[in-house]
Amino acid sequence: MERKVRVRFAPSPTGPLHIGGVRTALYNYLFAKQHGGDLIFRIEDTDSNRFVPGAEEYIIESFKWLGINFDEGVSFGGDHGPYRQSERKDIYKKYVQVLLDADKAYIAFDTPEELDAKRAEIENFQYDASTRLMMRNSLVMSKEEVDQLINDGHQYVVRIKIEPGRDVVVHDIIRGDVSINSSVLDDKVLYKSADQLPTYHLANIVDDHLMEVTHVIRGEEWLPSAPLHVLLYEAFGWQDTMPQFAHLPLLLKPVGNGKLSKRDGDKLGFPVFPLEWHDPKSGETSSGYREKGYLPEALVNFLALLGWNPGNDQEVMSLDEMVKLFDLSKCSKAGARFDYVKGIWFNHQYLLNKPAKDWTPEFDALLKTNGIESTPEKEAQVVEMMKTKVIEYVDKENNKKKRNISFVSDLWPLCKFFFVAPDSFNKDDKFIRKNWNEETAGMMRQLVDILSNVDDFTIENQKAAVDPWAEQTGLRPWNAWRVALVGAGQGPDMYELSAFLGKQETIKRINFAITSLSCE
Ligand code: GLU
């Protein structure tokens, strides 16, 4: 029988969600939606030493912001719960017993000191078929002895009993069949009496089974655990419903070798977390895509293409389009380079497609922090005039660069002159030097006269008055006009800017420039 597709994203709440984890969740989402299946959100918090307060809430908030919705799980509900592993202790206990009863696992009493001693004695010591009979475990003890030790309060672990000498094959949708000989695997710990908790491996397999997971889509770093997981499914007798695996390619550093790290982000100036994260222990703050002004749709689109593409050169895609086009089997095996500059490009694309009125809440906040109050209407007009401009900036390596406006915050200081008149002019400025000389004041006085006579100060009316004068006299007032209104060689068309500023302000600025720049 065809099973309904069910996939899960199963983070451990050990800190903020890494951007690679976001990509994993996204691929699970695309796959689930494409197959009309379910996406489960499970919290794998059995390692209490690594638990970080606030991490779970952070992860949930991240996906809310990103628009990646789960069908069931922690905070979403569903009938396969509880979805937090720390609330499933009794379930794991039961399944540990199932393995012990079936002789697929055994109890081991070796203390950490005894294990260290063995490691010192035997080179490359591994707890496996070749060594386990030399150790202190239920394979070499009588039942009475084992019970006695447990009753006396000795701590123990439960280990999987791996049969040596057979090939274990992991069928991976992206990588094909990955085969490994069971002799190289060790008898991994599945359960610890000390905290009465299962390890990741056991909890993960039991939950995937009970939650009816059909596909395990996760990062490449979990591939080494997959053979053990296959053996666990077999040990439980669940091989018929074993999920299919897909191990996603690693996200690589923007430059150089190795996997993307937070340090790369710090060095090159991009976030590796979706939201800003305040570390409760160190007090350190790490930047987030949201706070940096990225649009969630842009980030999702950028991440989707790190390890997969639709087979043509289409890059900008809505989530719905991605759901249609996504193909898990066409994901790359090779690592995907984290080209953060491409992420900025995506943000530019998405920002440009947003109507100006959607920019204004953020733009308004930006203006306010610079001491400027305006109206949403005025702000939308400014955005409309400026959104396709190019900005100059200095990158982390101190190189002067240019790029399209990619964040709302790029608009400042580019838009200052719309709201604040120049209060002085830098006579060394190349643009000013070139466009303001002894004759300019006279020309600008004429311009003031002409503009004073324009009643309704629209772009068209200004044009109708100024253009014929410029034509007849051969005067070219536009650059000097720009000097007066902007104070520099930037900004929109002069008629547009003057209409925005209004007649009074325009004339005031021109008069101020005449006095400031002509009294040598
Ligand atoms: N808890 C693991 C993690 O933190 C889940 C690995 C898996 O998906 O099996 O990523």
Which atom from ligand 1 is nearest to the alpha carbon of 8?
A: 8
* 244-248 vs 215-219, strand pairing mode: parallel
Same domain? For 434 and 393 the reply is: no
Task: Calculate how far, in angstroms, residue 121's C-alpha sits from the geometric centre of ligand 1.
Answer: 34
298 lies in some domain: no
CA dist., res. 45 & res. 87, Å (int)? 9
CA dist., res. 272 & res. 287, Å (int)? 8
Q: Please confirm, yes or no, whether 262 is among the known catalytic residues.
A: yes
62 lies in some domain: yes
Same domain? For 138 and 152 the reply is: yes
Question: Which of the listed residues 6, 8, 12 should we mutate to test ligand 1's pocket, taking the one with most ligand atoms within 8 A of CB?
Answer: 12
Ligand 1 lining (C-beta closer than 6 Å)? 10-12, 44, 204, 218, 222
CA dist., res. 296 & res. 350, Å (int)? 10
**Residue 504 structure tokens:** 């009074």
Question: Which of the listed residues 27, 28, 44 should we mutate to test ligand 1's pocket, taking the one with most ligand atoms within 8 A of CB?
Answer: 44
Residue 503 β-bridge partners:
none
Task: Calculate how far, in angstroms, residue 259's C-alpha sits from the geometric centre of ligand 1.
Answer: 17
Q: Return the CATH number at 95.
A: 3.90.800.10
Same domain? For 393 and 450 the reply is: no
217 lies in some domain: yes
**Residue 346 structure tokens:** 């995506």
Which atom from ligand 1 is nearest to the alpha carbon of 21?
A: 10
CA dist., res. 272 & res. 266, Å (int)? 9
CA dist., res. 382 & res. 380, Å (int)? 5
Q: Which residues of the chain have pLDDT under 70?
A: 1, 519-520
1 lies in some domain: no
Tell me which of 155, 179, 198 is where a domain ends. 198
Q: Which of 64, 89, 259, 262 is catalytic?
A: 262
What SS3 state is found at 455? coil
* C-beta neighbour count of 60 within 10 angstroms: 18
388 lies in some domain: yes
Q: What is the pLDDT of residues 301-325, one digit of tens each?
A: 999 999 999 999 999 999 999 999 9
Same domain? For 177 and 111 the reply is: yes
> Any idea what the Cα angle at residue 518 is, between residues 512 and 520, rounded to 5°?
130
Same domain? For 466 and 512 the reply is: yes
451 lies in some domain: yes
Is the peptide bond preceding residue 82 cis, with omega within 30 degrees of 0?
yes
161 lies in some domain: yes
81 lies in some domain: no
Same domain? For 36 and 129 the reply is: no
Same domain? For 106 and 188 the reply is: yes
CA dist., res. 352 & res. 128, Å (int)? 60
Task: Calculate how far, in angstroms, residue 208's C-alpha sits from the geometric centre of ligand 1.
Answer: 11
Q: Domain range holding 10? A: 6-75+204-250
What SS3 state is found at 200? helix
User: Cβ distance 93 to 193 under 8 Å?
Assistant: no
Same domain? For 62 and 94 the reply is: no
Question: Which of the listed residues 199, 204, 211 should we mutate to test ligand 1's pocket, taking the one with most ligand atoms within 8 A of CB?
Answer: 204
pLDDT in the model for residue 519: 58
CA dist., res. 375 & res. 357, Å (int)? 11
Q: Return the CATH number at 55.
A: 3.40.50.620
Tell me which of 417, 440, 471 is where a domain ends. 417
Same domain? For 399 and 482 the reply is: no
pLDDT in the model for residue 1: 66
pLDDT in the model for residue 49: 83
**H or E element, residue 469:** helix 459-473
End-to-end CA distance of the chain: 91
Tell me which of 365, 385, 417 is where a domain ends. 417
Same domain? For 69 and 213 the reply is: yes
Number of structural domains, the chain? 4
Cα torsion 328, 332, 336, 341 to 10°: value is -70
Same domain? For 94 and 194 the reply is: yes
Same domain? For 67 and 211 the reply is: yes
CA dist., res. 108 & res. 160, Å (int)? 10
Which atom from ligand 1 is nearest to the alpha carbon of 11?
A: 4
* 6-9 vs 38-41, strand pairing mode: parallel
Torsional sign, CA 318, 320, 325, 331? positive
Q: List the residue whose alpha carbon is closest to atom 10 of ligand 1.
A: 11
Q: What is the pLDDT of residues 111-124, one digit of tens each?
A: 999 999 999 999 99
pLDDT in the model for residue 28: 98
